[in-house]
Amino acid sequence: MGKINKNIKNELVEKIGVVYERAGHTPMAGRIVGVLFLSEPPYRSFDELVKELSASKSAISNGLNLLSSMGLVEYETFSGDRKRYFKLNLQALETIFRKELENISNFSLLLKKVRDVRSPKYSDFNSGIDNFIKLIEIFQDEYPRIINKWKE
């Protein structure tokens, strides 16, 4: 793909920011991820992020700190250049995905305990809980096959 149209890039950066916000992160962290996904070359200096996102240094710093603590962003340096260049750690995406699935599995275990203590009086609601537990179990059974297929 050639040079990315600035309007399309800005729109995608904002949309990624919204996705990250819906996942419980700050919009700025999502925007940083968006910029780094779209950057060619695939890294940016701190100052470039400040300029490109028209954001304060503290907002960029906080976003980078959050993403670094998640393992999603790392930096590299280049000989003769004192700046740090931030880039996505794409291997971390799978790790983050696995952690989310682990959270879903833990939630399923809690739902089973909830279901065990509920009275049978509200059968429709209880059936809804049971169906959601079944969905999670199907996903847990299929997940290893999905990962193996993806790695092929």
Dihedral angle at the C-alpha atoms of 16, 86, 9, 23, nearest 10 degrees? Answer: 0
Which tens digit of pLDDT belongs to each residue from 31-88?
999 999 999 899 999 999 999 999 999 999 999 999 999 889 999 999 999 999 999 9
Would you tell me the crossing angle of helices 46-53 and 27-38 to the nearest 10 degrees? 110
Separation of CA 5 from chain center: 24
Q: According to the model, what pLDDT value does residue 2 have?
A: 52
Kindly tell me if the per-residue pLDDT of 100 is higher than 90.
Answer: no
Range 92-118 average pLDDT:
87
Tell me the pLDDT band of 1, cut-offs 50, 70 and 90: very low
Give the burial string for 56-77 (b: 16+ CB within 10 Å, else e): eeebbebbbebbeeeebbbbee
What pLDDT shows up at residue 96?
Answer: 78
pTM of the predicted model as reported, rounded to 2 decimal places: 0.74
Tell me the domain boundaries of the chain: 6-88, 92-151
2, HSE (Cβ side, Cα atoms, 13 Å):
1
Options 1.10.150.120, 3.40.50.720, 1.10.10.10, 1.20.120.400; CATH of 6-88 = 1.10.10.10
Lowest-confidence pick of 16-20, 92-96, 142-146: 92-96
With a cut of 80, say whether residue 4 has pLDDT above it. Answer: no
CA angle 7, 27, 6 (to 5 degrees): 10
Task: Give mean pLDDT, residues 82-101.
Answer: 87
